[in-house]
A and B are shown apart, each in its own frame.
Chain A
Amino acid sequence: MQDYIMEIKNLKKYFKLKENIFSKAKYVRAVDDVTFSVPRGSTYAVVGESGSGKTTLGRTILRLIDASAGEIIMDNKNVLDLSKKEFMEYRRKMQMVFQDPYNSLHPKKLVKTIIGEGMKIHFKGIKETEIRKRIAEVLNEVGLREEHMFRYPHEFSGGQRQRIAFARAIILNPNFIVLDEPTSALDVSVQAMVLKMLKDIKKREDLSYLFITHDLSVVDYLADHVAVMYLGEIVEKGPKSKVFNNPAHPYTELLLNSNPIPDPFTDRERIEVKGEVPNPINPPSGCRFHTRCRYAENICSEKKPEEEIVSEEHTNRCHFSLV
């Protein structure tokens, strides 16, 4: 059996909308019945367009917001059932790096304070000199220098700030990190360096990543497994090579097709994108993608497709699987 660092089963997160006396409470189904497992030591990418619930998924996994239903299993325990106190250990083991490097660091604190805060929270009564030693270590690891700890976040560039955010995440020796579009706010050359750093550190520290992104080239570079999300649901998931080479779901096909290839002479058939992402308060009936799908037929709007196995570890949720 495969060793999973984290198994997510039927995870749901519904946001309640303001109810009034005239209407029933409505919900935004940001994450709806999501199931997947992250193998130890791998990078699991979650892709999807804006509003598909990727970020909410990441935040729900880390219990930054409370899940509505489902299980998250780590070390054979459902971490959603743990009390706040019991969960503290998992807070240390699971870390998050946020999308926006400009707002995720406290603007009025020294880098030393920002990175060292986790040490102070988790190791009560630790000596300042020890914290500093460790900060210097992680700063080196993310490609910054020891003396940078006495600077303020505004003295750094976006890429450097993201390195600091990453240093803050790894200082506690976690084994699972949620990376929420860590490179989307950076320009391309910096992106490459940050991604390389992420890859190197993963290998060195034996980490597992949940990589949330909309950028398929990044997924191609970093990920081992991919899950494609659409309107809160995972429509297709599997090993990267299988999903990328043989997309089974029309939405995956569309995403892959719309990803630009940096070669002006490549010719390929262009798939037109119909319409906008539907409103998640009122998701389409049946298959949620049928309003924009070019293969859609009547059954798609009537019956919700079941998850079916395409090949080993590769699952799809469509009536007209492309494979």
Chain B
Amino acid sequence: MAEIDTIPKTKKELWLKRMKPYFEDLNHTIDLWKRNLLAVIGTVIIALFILTAIFAPLLTPYSPIEQNMSVKLQAPSWEHPFGTDQFGRDIYTRVLYGSRVAVQIILIITFVSGFIGISVGIIAGYYGGIVDDILMRITDMFLAFPRLILAMAFAAMLGPSLVNVIIAISCVMWTIYARLARAEAIKVKKQPYIESIKSIGGSDLRIIFLHILPMSISPVLVQITLRMGTIIITAASLGFLGLGAQPPSPEWGVMVSDGRTFLIDQWWISTFPGIAIAVVVLGFNLLGDGIRDMLDPRLRR
């Protein structure tokens, strides 16, 4: 502690002092990130993916939905770089707009399933005993089925639509987060500093929100990023099977399915959305692996 301590006078000074360890942490993380080529590639892919979703209308002159039978089933050309489908819609445009659907799906599912998973996990882990038993047996029930099959069952039950896909996938994704959050909560609640808050009279709510949640959330957040790729694949699979987004929505899974019958002669209809799925999922996986490595305490410091 070479620096001389002073009492922070302004709000800004206090804030800087408070954030200093986080800034140092961030710098170190960025260093690690720069050294990890695959993580950089993943980040670039995801950045492009998000930018595409935001600026889709600026990148193409066509509409993703309007049909133009005069140009149907055209091979890739300068005018239609990815070709056109059986209704004369530009595939390139539809792939771009598809990223919007994908971003929407990811954001909502991540938020919903993350919220459910973290709440269930932390409550189970903190209270333990019978609460833990009940919540974890429910989680086990969901985990007992293969995720895709369960999502299909939910989607089929609720009826095919984009909203129902989001509900169905959220219902299967939360279990992983719940288990992880529970394990973290159990670990944190045994720490003496939690007991010391109890001894000064802190309520359960206070302990959960102010002490356990902030200490146990980071591994869950990493897992959530790692799972974003899975979410896209599951959503696309459901779309492909007709259980998800419905045509004419430019959802990638639906588009792959649309082109199925033309695959021999007009390969581009299915191929380009398929490549889009593959690239984005790859991006998320690389990024997720990178984040996991960066947060690995053995690699840090």
Chain A residues with CB under 8 Å of chain B are 62, 64, 88, 91-92, 95-96, 98-100, 103-108, 110, 117-118, 121-122, 145-148, 150-152, 155, 165, 168-169, 172
Contact = CB atoms under 8 A, between A and B. Distances in A.
Contact of A103 (B6, B191, B214): B191
Contact of A96 (B5, B7, B191, B196): B196
Contacts of B21: 152
A147 B201 contact: no
B191 A150 contact: no
Which of B198, B200, B211: most chain A CB closer than 10 A? Answer: B200
Nearest to A106: B193
B193 A104 contact: yes
Contact of B201 (A110, A122, A145, A146): A122
Contacts of B197: 106, 117
B156 interface: no
B202 to A, nearest CB: 6
B195 to A, nearest CB: 6
A99 B192 CA distance: 9
Highest count of chain B CB atoms <10 Å: which of A64, A117, A146: A117
B135 to A, nearest CB: 20
Interface of B: 1, 5-8, 14, 17-18, 21, 191-193, 195-203, 206, 211, 214-215
Contacts of B200: 91, 95, 117-118, 121-122, 168-169, 172
B201 A121 contact: yes
A118 B202 CA distance: 8
Contacts of A118: 200-201
Interface centre among A92, A150, A169 (most CB of B within 10 A): A150
A100 B201 contact: no
A304 to B, nearest CB: 34
Closest 4 CB pairs of A and B: A91-B201, A118-B200, A104-B192, A103-B192
B18 A151 contact: no
A147 B196 contact: no
Contacts of B201: 88, 91-92, 118, 121-122
A155 B1 contact: yes
Nearest to B22: A108
A80 B5 CA distance: 45
A291 B7 CA distance: 60
